[in-house]
Structure 1
Amino acid sequence: MSPTGKQTKQPEGPETAEKPEPQPRSVRVVLLALMIAMLLAMLDNMIVGTAMPTIVGELGGLAHLSWVVTAYTLATAASTPIWGKLGDIYGRKGVFLTSIVVFLIGSALSGMAQDMGQLIGFRAVQGLGAGGLMVGVMAIIGDLIPPRERGKYQGMMAGVMALAMIGGPLVGGTITDHLGWRWSFYINLPLGALALVMITAVLHLPAKDRTKVKVDYLGAALLTVGITAIVLVTTWGGTEYAWGSAMIMELIAIGVVSLVGFVFVQTRVAEPIMPLHIFRSRNFSLMSVIGFLTGFVMFGAVLFLPLYQQAVQGASATNSGLLLLPMLLSMMVVSLIAGRITTSSGRYKIFPILGGALMVVGLFLLAQMDTGTSRLTSGLYMAVLGAGMGFLMQITMLVAQNSVEMKDMGVGSSTTTLFRTLGGSFGAAIMGALFTSRVQDEMAARAGAGGAGVTEQSTQLDAASLAKLPDLVREAYQHAVSTGTHAAFTLGAAIAVIGFVAAFFVKEVPLRGGEPKPADEADQAPAPAADGRITQSA
């Protein structure tokens, strides 16, 4: 290893594959800092969501409540591919540190907001920074650790996700009750500062040559407009506006025109924001599709499972994060096992197939839940779904990164992240629309006009609120939620079948850092000499 911490050429041949070069201690420290940054990005929305009733009570502006979340989501989705490209152009470290600083500035300003308008604006700033956190983490890991060795760290990343989903609501409730809602944002500052210090001190990546770089501003603008329109359609459709309303139709038209224009621009500029040649790799395109479908299913599950358990099984909303524990623990354990096997064998094609199959089975089982399903049974069903997601969550990123050249690591990581984010947006919208429709129909059939008021607040009733309803209305609502959940998960299972089929077309291209690839490999990843492994001074 180079004592200067610079990029070195890796030896080729079986010896490298059999005995992967151990990562030095400084890389492990960097990984710890990266996990803190990932935790910041994933924890924020879940903490803030718990604090929202208190925020509205103090700042007012109930009519604009949804924009507190929408502004953050829009800014995150729109900025993700831009952060990835900037990292490729100007260097990963500086761009990643900048995204952390922007996120912390947005967090501090959000905590100081004096009205709902300010909070929405500052949340957008926070979202801009968040867009660079996840893609920065993934791209830096792609630079530091060859794909063959990366599997062993999958459990760590899955663990961070599980910690955020479980701990977010609990931490948010505790902070809001004892310190006030502003600390839901201020809590990011010490964590972010720690990540900044650690990354600045120990992360050393090669400098980029910036002399002849021209940023694709037009492409960035068109992509931002297109993504914004898509997210607004999925956020507003069926809620703020009817699906066939003029506003939704206009947004769809704007989104289509912008994205078509974006594709045209990408074929003409020297440094495209999202170079289309990365989609020539069959594996990369398939991972984008599978990532989209995984996001679709995962966000739908996270949305409807707590609702079902609160409304039908009588669970407490306060502990909503714990309700997902079977799914998240299963996901974490399976991800860790799949990562270890990938590292030791270099084989990975079986995991997307297994993951797709288990997702279909898990969603089908969840669709069978009714008002008599026990918590143990639903927990077992969730564990099956979690195992499926565990096989897919990190493998999709690993294969996608292995399918692009090192110079495109940022855009490859950001594109995969973007597709998963958009999948989640579509999943929440489409499954949510189907769920709401079935709940309304069932309430009308069982409770008549008396159930109309309950239907309007169907996503806000917890066990305590349900106990105050008349028996007829409560039972009707529980049946309605069970019916809506069945419809949503049946749709999810049908969507997951597409991912299962797509997994069979994945080509098992050897992972960089392992066995050398045949020269005529059609989906060949870059040669080991260019794999960009970064050695660190201990």
Structure 2
Amino acid sequence: MPVVVPQTASVPVVHPTEDAQQRHRRILRSLTGLLLGMFVSMIANTVVSTSLPVIVHDIGGTQASYTWVVTAMLLSTAIATPIWGKLADLFDRKLLFQIAIVGFVLASASAGFSHSPEFLICCRVFQGLFGGGMIALSQVIMADLMSPRERGRYMGLFGAVMAVATVGGPLAGGLITDAFGWRWNFLVSVPFALIALVMVQRTLRLAPMQPRRAHIDVLGILLLAVATSLVLLWITNAGTEYDWLSPTTAWMLGGALAAAVLFVVVERRHPEPLLPLHLFADRTVTLAVIASIAVGVAMFGSSVYLAQYMQLARGATPTHAGLMTIPLMAGFLITSTLVGRRITKHGSWKPYLVGGAVSLIAGTALLSTLHYDTPFALVCLYMALVGVGMGSTMQNLVLVVQNAVAPQHLGVASSAVTFFRSLGGTAGVSAMGAAVATTVGTGMTERAGDLRRALASLGADGPRWAESLQSGTLPAVAAMPEPLRVIVEDVYAQSISQAFLITVPLAVVSLLAILFLPNVSLGQRSGEELRAESSAPGSAPTGTERRDDPERRHA
């Protein structure tokens, strides 16, 4: 039964006397806290990627633990994103953003004191729940502050923040782990989150609110969480804990399907649905959601498993592994900034998305050819191609959807794209983790003879290394003697490269979805201005404000 809460609705604020420079300064001031909060949320997930082998080894975890430390946060972020997006259409967005920051600080501090895989995974769940709020709300608030045409310029800033967090996180995590220990990867984000809280309070000025009542779709939230969790649990554990074709598989997929069907029924009947299904009648929304799934897989999969490749297939330390992923960050950062500026200047976005999708296909396909001794210059090229693809597509898919929907649906529409991107990333990381675990086991079995000979050559140290390999924990490859290290690096390199094959067909689907997106130029009015127009006497009915914008033209 829905919970009814006294609520508020935005009354737009207009700044008629501003010139362009004053408006630019006001927007930048408002964005500072949002950008920092978004950065803190994203880097919390990526900063641990290079230190995960060390973390999992120290707390006695397995390859499954390695995967779940990542996917627990991605899963909770995916589930939380549409919830925060819906709340953003109902409640005070600034207050919601501040609540998300406080919850994130508490979860991060707790994670820094973990002593078991189970406790760490639990903390990561709460990091994702509140971190997802900061990501979703920052994009919704941005749509309030500026028009879609202007957003192209500022999306470059968001893309730059995502680039630094997504690929700079592993570098920072490696440095922190080597210098201070892995626990500081969680604790270091706390002061930055508190700074973001203060900056949001001081710089973010949103419209005043008017009282109204809101029905919270509690049942929809629960059903979405159940459906998503069952699918991801199945992807993560199938092939290791149970067979792909087994009664457990049937039970989990059947439960997920039943929850999804009930979710659709509830959303069709609820007065304030968590995810309004009518939005998917718009071709732009549906195709952008499909395209965002592959982008999520590429973004999170490359961040997590390239770090593992560098350490377990090339013997790098956490710091060196972070440095070795700089080409991915550079491609992302440079492309997102330049593409954002070009979109703002010309109002045309489709060529950049198409080019980005092509680059994503090429990069992921080439990553699937990696070996432990692949020339590093080629690895850099492959990473840069993936970075260019992500930088061209990720934030601009959100922009395209925001341009297509009515202002009262900005929150839920923006979060829908982010939700499916996070869901794709979570499923992708889980599937890649399952593939790595399976193929590593197979590879070790196939190389059993080579392993016995390598262990025998180590003399008295052989039994110790044999016990380490049989323990099930991730190996400390950099410390291994050369005869053993070469074999283990080869097995992990082949396993990780095969896991990247999962991303290639998804990237192709992303390209097809982008090709069929309606090529509509970007509007030049902000969410606040559109709401002011739609609330005026004699305005167009709800849902038509964007569609009939006279400033928009087919490119």
Distance 1:168 1:330, change over 3 A: closer
Q: Indicate whether 1:525 and 2:539 are aligned.
A: no
Cα distance in 2, alignment partners of residues 169 and 269 from structure 1: 42
Q: Deviations over 1:437-466 (max 9, x none)?
A: 44444444444484798987899345524x
Cα distance in 2, alignment partners of residues 84 and 225 from structure 1: 19
Q: How does 1:423-442 map to 2 (within 5 A)?
A: 423-442=424-443
Cα distance in 2, alignment partners of residues 269 and 31 from structure 1: 34
Q: CA deviation at 1:65?
A: 4.9
Among 489, 500, 503, the residue aligned to 1:489: 500
Name the SS of the counterpart of 1:212 in structure 2: strand
Distance 1:442 1:44, change over 3 A: same
Name the SS of the counterpart of 1:369 in structure 2: coil
Cα distance in 1, alignment partners of residues 367 and 117 from structure 2: 38
The count of corresponding residues between Structure 1 and Structure 2 is: 514
What is the root-mean-square deviation of aligned Cα atoms in Å?
A: 3.7
Cα distance in 2, alignment partners of residues 366 and 60 from structure 1: 30
Among 498, 508, 511, the residue aligned to 2:519: 508
Contact 1:235 1:425 in 2 (8 A): no
Distance 1:238 1:197, change over 3 A: same
Q: Indicate whether 1:153 and 2:154 are aligned.
A: yes
Q: CA deviation at 1:488?
A: 2.9
Q: Indicate whether 1:480 and 2:491 are aligned.
A: yes
Contact 2:332 2:390 in 1 (8 A): yes
Among 458, 468, 490, the residue aligned to 2:481: 468
State the match for 1:536 in structure 2.
none
Cα distance in 2, alignment partners of residues 60 and 460 from structure 1: 9
Letter in 1 for 2:408: K
Q: Deviations over 1:13-66 (max 9, x none)?
A: xxx9xx978634232122121111011111113344566677678877889956
- Give ranges in structure 1 of 5+ residues lacking alignment: 532-538
Cα distance in 2, alignment partners of residues 437 and 114 from structure 1: 27
State the match for 2:38 in structure 1.
38
Distance 1:181 1:188, change over 3 A: same
Contact 1:332 1:390 in 2 (8 A): yes
State the match for 2:326 in structure 1.
325
Cα distance in 2, alignment partners of residues 282 and 388 from structure 1: 22
Letter in 2 for 1:8: V
Q: Deviations over 1:149-180 (max 9, x none)?
A: 11112332232223224443444455556656
Q: CA deviation at 1:373?
A: 2.2
Contact 1:77 1:418 in 2 (8 A): yes
Cα distance in 2, alignment partners of residues 234 and 210 from structure 1: 44
State the match for 2:310 in structure 1.
309
Letter in 2 for 1:427: G
Cα distance in 1, alignment partners of residues 134 and 93 from structure 2: 11
Distance 1:108 1:150, change over 3 A: same
Among 14, 23, 42, the residue aligned to 1:8: 14
Query: TM-score, structure 2 length as denominator?
Result: 0.81
State the match for 1:288 in structure 2.
289
Query: TM-score, structure 1 length as denominator?
Result: 0.84
Contact 2:81 2:419 in 1 (8 A): yes
Q: Deviations over 1:176-195 (max 9, x none)?
A: 56656554433333212211
Q: Deviations over 1:472-492 (max 9, x none)?
A: x54444443443344333342
Letter in 1 for 2:33: A
Q: Deviations over 1:201-252 (max 9, x none)?
A: 2222224444232111111221122222223223333344443344443222
Name the SS of the counterpart of 1:149 in structure 2: helix
Letter in 1 for 2:38: M
Cα distance in 2, alignment partners of residues 152 and 432 from structure 1: 36
State the match for 2:455 in structure 1.
none
Cα distance in 1, alignment partners of residues 57 and 362 from structure 2: 43
Q: CA deviation at 1:363?
A: 2.2
State the match for 1:398 in structure 2.
399
Q: CA deviation at 1:523?
A: 9.7
Distance 1:358 1:455, change over 3 A: farther
Cα distance in 1, alignment partners of residues 166 and 346 from structure 2: 31
Q: CA deviation at 1:504?
A: 1.2
Distance 1:273 1:287, change over 3 A: same
Contact 1:42 1:164 in 2 (8 A): yes
Letter in 2 for 1:492: T
Contact 1:89 1:210 in 2 (8 A): no
Q: How does 1:24-103 map to 2 (within 5 A)?
A: 24-48=24-48, 65=65, 69-103=70-104
Name the SS of the counterpart of 1:89 in structure 2: coil
Distance 1:383 1:55, change over 3 A: closer
Distance 1:442 1:71, change over 3 A: closer
Distance 1:29 1:279, change over 3 A: same
- Give ranges in structure 2 of 5+ residues lacking alignment: 1-10, 453-465, 531-539
Distance 1:47 1:27, change over 3 A: same
Cα distance in 1, alignment partners of residues 110 and 210 from structure 2: 35
Name the SS of the counterpart of 2:319 in structure 1: coil
Contact 1:434 1:488 in 2 (8 A): yes
Q: Deviations over 1:391-422 (max 9, x none)?
A: 11111111121122111111112111110111
Q: CA deviation at 1:78?
A: 1.9
Contact 2:436 2:499 in 1 (8 A): yes
Q: Indicate whether 1:141 and 2:159 are aligned.
A: no
Distance 1:189 1:21, change over 3 A: same
Cα distance in 1, alignment partners of residues 395 and 506 from structure 2: 20
State the match for 2:349 in structure 1.
348
Name the SS of the counterpart of 2:318 in structure 1: coil
Letter in 1 for 2:34: L
Q: Indicate whether 1:228 and 2:234 are aligned.
A: no
Cα distance in 2, alignment partners of residues 312 and 118 from structure 1: 29
State the match for 1:269 in structure 2.
270
Cα distance in 2, alignment partners of residues 130 and 426 from structure 1: 18
Q: Deviations over 1:60-87 (max 9, x none)?
A: 7889956655543443222221111111
Cα distance in 1, alignment partners of residues 490 and 122 from structure 2: 40
Contact 2:164 2:333 in 1 (8 A): no
State the match for 2:456 in structure 1.
none
Distance 1:20 1:362, change over 3 A: farther
Distance 1:458 1:38, change over 3 A: farther
Letter in 2 for 1:7: V
Cα distance in 2, alignment partners of residues 72 and 169 from structure 1: 16
Name the SS of the counterpart of 1:214 in structure 2: strand
Cα distance in 2, alignment partners of residues 413 and 406 from structure 1: 11
Distance 1:305 1:491, change over 3 A: same
